[in-house]
Amino acid sequence: MRVQCVLGLALAVLGAQSALAQTAPSTFPSKPVRIVVPQTPGGASDALARMVGQKLSEKWGQPVVVENRAGAGGNIGMDVVAKALGDGYTLLMSYVGSHAINPSIYSKLPFDPEADFVAVATLANVPFIAVVNAAVPVTNLKGLVSYSAGKPIAFGSAGNGSVNHLLGEMFNTASGAKMQHVPYKGAAPALTDLISGQIQVVFTSLPSVAQHIRSGTVKGLAVTGSKRAAAFKDIPTIAESGFPSFVINPWFGLFASKGTPAAVVKQINADVKKVMEDKELLDKFTALGAEPFESSPQDFQAMLHADIKTWAAVVKSSGATAD
């Protein structure tokens, strides 16, 4: 009888612990939350993390600290989050490039992009855009292809296997152009060399280059999305420009470390959806060319799984590698 009582008590305790693990603390968050951005400041990931982080901070009444941990194509920052305690207080600002493409680019990763993370909430679809130095005498993609046939053209990227790199290679294949790839350690230095004329072309996220397009230091030729960006309606899509199958709209979103209670994930997802209703935030997204994108944690996780397979085929076709 005593053994049965002890066993019953043990099972009750385990059941309570399991239930507690799936329950969000009523005070969450009770301390600052960290959002790790695995890219350098100035890009789309950094901009979105800071804008959404500010609104979450206001809603939660707690600081939301954005920490840039760039390097190795995003793997350094991702590893920080993969090894963090799964409690919801360390989040990863990720995007399709580092999370779905890197597994095919790097033969050895210190983490599993699916098993070591929990999908929390998508934030936006962000079209990329083909931009050229202001002195390049072209105004559209067909003109760029013709121009590249007569003289050497170089396109820069954030590194081997980055979305920027793959888009350039995909465009070479689709158009017959033979632009030479120049990898950089991040999108920012590639953009710097584009503006100075060291390279002629960059395929980059629209938010990272929006101000330069408006100021005239670079020219936007076409966006990769399925429709024109609301803030740049005069810039056509690549599909409109003669390449109908060229439609790429990378997602950006938040992940947590594995082991984060489902209820905490659910709460953060709900809070993200709530702040994404804020008109000021939506206006900022629009100004940068980002399209708000809402999903459940389950749908986000499934999308990541599918995209890892999709981009693996693209990477194989391009022959890109970071090793």
pLDDT of residue 186: 83
- In this structure, is the dihedral angle defined by the CA atoms of residues 176, 179, 183 and 186, taken in order, positive or negative? negative
pLDDT of residue 279: 96
Tokens 């600052």 map to which residue? 32
Domains 31-126+250-318 and 128-232 alike in fold = yes
Report how far residue 123's alpha carbon sits from residue 207's, in angstroms, rounded to the nearest whole number. Answer: 14
Topology classification of domain 128-232: D-Maltodextrin-Binding Protein; domain 2 (3.40.190)
pLDDT of residue 26: 64
pTM over 0.85: no
- In this structure, is the dihedral angle defined by the CA atoms of residues 270, 273, 275 and 277, taken in order, positive or negative? negative
Among 121, 170, 48, CA closest to 271: 121
pLDDT of residue 316: 85
* Top CATH class, 31-126+250-318: alpha beta
CB 103 within 8 A of CB 242: no
* Mean pLDDT, each 10-residue run in order, the chain (323 residues): 46 46 69 96 92 98 97 93 98 95 91 98 95 97 95 92 90 93 90 97 93 96 93 95 92 97 98 97 91 96 95 83 69
307's CB contacts (< 8 A; 6+ apart) are: 96, 100, 251
Sheet containing 64-68: give its strands across.
64-68, 33-37, 90-95, 251-257, 117-125, 291-292
Tell me the CA distances in angstroms from 111 to 131, 219, 262, one per residue in order: 34, 39, 21
Report how far residue 109's alpha carbon sits from residue 301's, in angstroms, rounded to the nearest whole number. Answer: 19
Q: How many helices (H) and strands (E) does the chain have?
A: 12, 11
Q: Which pair of structure tokens corresponds to residue 244?
A: 């109908």
CB 222 within 8 A of CB 129: yes
pLDDT of residue 92: 98
Residue type, 89: Y
Q: Is 225 left (phi over 0), alpha (psi -120 to 50) or beta?
A: beta
Domain segments of the chain: what residues? 31-126+250-318, 128-232
